[in-house]
Structures are given as structure tokens and as C-alpha cells.
Amino acid sequence: MLTLLTLIVSVGLADSIDPTMIVPALYFAAGPDAARRVAGFAAGVFVVNTAGGVAIALGPGKFLLHLAPDPGPQLTRALELGTGVALLVAGIVLWHRRSDLPSPTGERLRRASPLVGATIALAEFPTAVPYFVVVVAVIRSHSSVAATIALLAGYQILYLAPVLALAALSARASHAEDGGRDDRVRLFLVRHENQFVAAILVAVAVVLLAAGSFGIATP
């Protein structure tokens, strides 16, 4: 069990550096009622990923996961390049349309944040290789139903650690006094969130493209 817990913690923390989670969370963190919107986004991701992992582990997991191909170095590099290109295009488009995009305000956006999180989680789930590694390890541990749910839920908490930290910081900023440093940071995000998100997308894209190109050039 100690080995399994070590695997869950190490993979969960490494997997938490996920721009598809952090970037939307930053967007929801800009504006009033930020903490509830970021928390709603995290809840949507948590429910979908935990339910999906538990369904695989307690259902046809052993059969289906044995059929899953082992992601070798070439596939990993191809995924890095493909993701890098997609993020680079998204960042450029977002930068050029930064003045056309609305500021993340309003009750409707707060209500939509869990749905956004669930939608992104569903789109990412088929390619969530690190999570599948953990699911396989949990299956092989022959844990009880309760333990399986707890282990996979714990992994999701680690995976969402940066988003949950952002929700906590947003809650603190919402209680800051007018003119305080936290309030100035929030106002800066409100004014420049689109440029900030675009810059993050481009930066992550450059890193992925460099990693993928280096991996292909170095057999």
C-alpha cells in the first residue's frame, strides 16, 4: 500500500502542472466571485475524472486496460508536438482577439464553471495516460470498493492542487480591503486576463514543441 500511495502522490503532483486546468482556472479567477467560480470549475473536473476512474477500476478495467497500447517514446513525442501546435494556434488567436472577448463576470459564468470543468475533463479523459497508470495500479492492488474510490479521489485532489490553491487565494483576495495588494492583483487580472492566458498558452506551446522536437532528433 505504501508503494501505491507513493505512486499516487508522485504522479498526481507531476500531472497537476496541466495548462488545460490552470489556464481556465486563471480565467475564472479574474473578476468578482472568483473563488466560487474556480471551485465550481474544480468540482466539475473532480466529479468526471473520479467517476470515470472508478467506473474503469470497478467495471471492465482489467480487460480494457490490457488492450490499451503502451505509449512509447514516439507516441509521446507526437502528442507533445500535436498539443504544442494546438496551444500555439489557440494562444495566437486569443491574443489577436483579446479586445473582443468579454471579461469573466456575471452570475451566468459562475453557474457555467462546473460545466466547463466537466467538459474539459471529458475531452481530456481518453488521453489521461498518467491517470490510467494510477488506475491500473489501484486495480492490481485488489483494493476494496471504498478504498478504490478514496485512492482515485485522492489522486484527483493532488491533480487539482494548483486550481484549489488558486481558489483559496481568490477567496482571500475577495476579503482584502479596498486598495490592498490582493485587490490590485485581482483588478490587474480583470483588465489583462486575455493577454495573460494567451501568453501562458504560447509559452507552454513553445516548451512542448521544443521537447517533442528534441525527443525526435535524439533517438
How far is 173 from 32, CA to CA, in rounded Å? 10
Model pTM?
Answer: 0.64
pLDDT, position 187: 58
pLDDT, position 101: 47
CB 103 within 8 A of CB 30: yes
pLDDT, position 105: 53
CA 152 vs CA 119, 133, 147, 197, 210: distances in Å: 19, 11, 9, 30, 32
pLDDT, position 178: 47
Per-residue pLDDT tens, the chain, 219 aa: give them. Answer: 777 888 888 888 878 878 888 878 877 877 667 788 889 999 999 999 999 999 988 887 666 556 555 545 665 566 557 766 776 776 677 666 655 544 555 555 557 788 888 988 988 887 888 898 888 888 888 888 999 999 999 999 999 988 898 888 777 766 554 445 555 655 565 565 556 666 766 776 677 677 767 766 665
62: left (phi over 0), alpha (psi -120 to 50) or beta: alpha
